[in-house]
Amino acid sequence: MTGKVLASVQGGTEAVAVPKEKKASSDVVPEVTLYTSAVAEKVDDEGHPVYLFDWQPHNALFPSRWKTETEESH
């Protein structure tokens, strides 16, 4: 809320794992997971023109973890 960067992350399978002493506290930074769904059009329902279903998780986006940037994130 203050605009201060507490932690940073680099995604992808090639990202280097963050050393234990540099990891941000799990209380400070949330886990980010990608989900996708199928979409179906409901042509006879103007209030809800689409229906989302078959949600699939794709695991964490940043498996190498978040790196601390300030003392607050320990």
Summarised one tens digit per residue, pLDDT across range 23-54 is 887 776 667 788 999 999 888 888 878 889 99
Question: So what's the pLDDT on residue 74?
Answer: 65
Query: Could you tell me the pTM of the whole model?
Result: 0.45
Question: To which residue do tokens 């790196």 refer?
Answer: 67
Instruction: State how far the alpha carbon of 53 is from the alpha carbons of 32, 33, 37, 43, 74, in Å.
Output: 20, 17, 6, 16, 38
SS (H, E, C) 46-59: CCCCEEEEEEEEEE
